[in-house]
Amino acid sequence: MKYISTRNKNLKLSFREAVLKGIPDDQGLFFPEKIPHVSKELFNNTHKPNLQETAIEIARHFTGDEIPQAALSDMIKKALNFDIPLSEIEPGVFVLELFHGPTLAFKDVGARFLAQCMNYFSKGSAPFTILVATSGDTGSAVANGFLGIEGINVVVLYPSGKVSPLQEKQFTTLGQNITALEINGSFDDCQSMVKEAFADKQLTTKRNLSSANSINIARLIPQSFYYFHAWNQLPETNLPVVISVPSGNYGNLTAGLLAKEMGLPVSKFIAASNANRPVPDYLETGVFIPRPSIETIANAMDVGNPSNFERILTLYQNSREKICEVIKARSFTDKQIKTIIRQTWEKTGYLPDPHGAIGYGALKQYLKKEKATGIFLETAHPAKFNMVMEELTGEKMELPEKLKGFDAGTKRSIRMDNNYQELKYFLMEE
């Protein structure tokens, strides 16, 4: 399997090169040269493989002969050491819970698989430093994914006072190979400092810098595994199956589309979004206009220029017609999201987080018009948004054990000004 750039089909890199590079030189995105067809046995068999078996069977098509079977199997068992259960919350409506990993959000799936790949490919080379800027969730998923992995240090830059205290605890209490830099500045300042570091030749000749960027191909591929796993947990149905995906940067949805191209007979995907709606607008008008992001209560989806849209265009040869055939879109304001959460809780007893609620709301609107079996993805545990939840349900929310564990830890961070020279000094001396 080779990987091309979305901007240049003639560029062909190995999986290893694509993972370690992260982004092609032409600033496009890596994409598999051909989408493999997986065996029907994987989703059409009385023997239902479990999540790990499914993942191993799919992953080997993408890693080819670059990772021997035994090593790949070991990597997947380490990365996907938690459940992704499907359950029915009302007749014909199923929730796929992606939040059972260590940081209680679906980004654990991608970050943990990427960590295993980087670990495998960097063996025998000098230690790596992963530099990551975060506004909250990415930092915790990456830090926890790489925690304890030999030969890789993670440095997380975050804006002081601008991430929630619970989010902050998820990457400042870990110790070991994880260092948190608390920057007196904004998220954009953190990101600029990281960019400057990657562009600094003096630094990059001394230190092996790498990024765990959300657009790394090794974060995208594992997200396709759980669409097959959802299918295998679904009771027999003669109706078409639709899947609603709460979307921001569109990695999750792109992975679903990959699963469909690999053979999974999903009928439609619903791109469920908050007030940031460049993709719903594209489906309506045919024009894609990136915009500054709008802040919402589903903040992990506050993306005004979703990078994976470029991959969707590549997958469907830039044909809006093909895209519209597969993807339907719905978007919701904060007020609507709150109403959905309250009503779902009252009617079904299921409490979705603000992101999952968008997925559920979009699915319900679709099912009003079409007969189908519906699945929506629940991308984060509602307790991560306990303030919003308690306001809506009027009940105090118990934190899950994993969050309590982080909450009890001691925060350790290094304060730093919004000044690249300070970061450089720190990385050169480290």
Ligand X SMILES: *Cc1c(COP(=O)(O)O)cnc(C)c1O
Instruction: List the catalytic residues.
Output: 107
Binding-site member from 231, 250, 385, 406 for ligand X (CB under 6 A): 250
Find the binder of ligand X among 32, 139, 251, 352 (CB under 6 A): 251
Question: CB-hemisphere CA count at 13 Å for 411?
Answer: 13
CA distances from 242 to 129, 146, 352 (A): 41, 34, 19
Other CB atoms within a 10 A radius of the CB of residue 318 amount to 10
CA distance 273 to 55: 27
State which residue, 232 or 252, has the beta carbon closest to ligand X: 252
Q: Among residues 177, 179, 249, 296, which is the contact residue for ligand X, using CB under 6 A?
A: 249
Nearer to ligand X among residue 60 and residue 355 (C-beta): 355
Residue 54 engages ligand X in binding (rule: CB under 6 A): no
247 binds ligand X, rule: CB under 6 A: yes
Q: What's the closest the beta carbon of residue 426 comes to ligand X, in angstroms?
A: 28
Contacting ligand X (CB under 6 A), which of 211, 373, 379, 418?
Answer: 379
For the beta carbon of residue 244, count every other beta carbon within 10 angstroms. 31
Is the Cβ–Cβ distance between 279 and 247 less than 8 Å?
A: yes
Give 130 or 297: the residue with its C-beta nearer to ligand X. 297
- Interface mask (CB under 6 A) for ligand X, residues 126-145, using x and -? -----------x--------
Instruction: Please choose, out of 200-208, 247-255, 256-264, 408-416, the segment that lies near ligand X by the rule CB under 6 A.
Output: 247-255
Please report, as residue ranges, which positions from 185 to 244 form the binding site for ligand X (by CB under 6 A).
Answer: none
Among residues 169, 260, 355, 402, which is the contact residue for ligand X, using CB under 6 A?
Answer: 355
Sheet arrangement for strand 327-331: 86-90, 93-97, 373-378, 241-246, 268-273, 327-331
Contact between 258 and ligand X by CB under 6 A: the answer reads no
Among 29, 133, 380, 383, binds ligand X (CB under 6 A): 380
Q: Is 300 in the site for ligand X (CB under 6 A)?
A: yes
Residues 13, 35, 107, 293: which binds ligand X (CB under 6 A)?
107
Phi/psi of residue 296, nearest 5 degrees:
-135, 175
Residue closest to 327 by CA, chosen among 377, 366, 276: 366
In this structure, what token pair is assigned to residue 232?
Answer: 């295998």
For the chain, the residue count is 430
Of 179, 55, 169, the C-alpha closest to 117 is 55
Containing 245, the helix (H) or strand (E) segment is strand 241-246
CB closer to ligand X out of 153 and 254: 254
Residues near ligand X (CB under 6 A) are: 105-107, 137, 246-252, 300-301, 355, 379-380
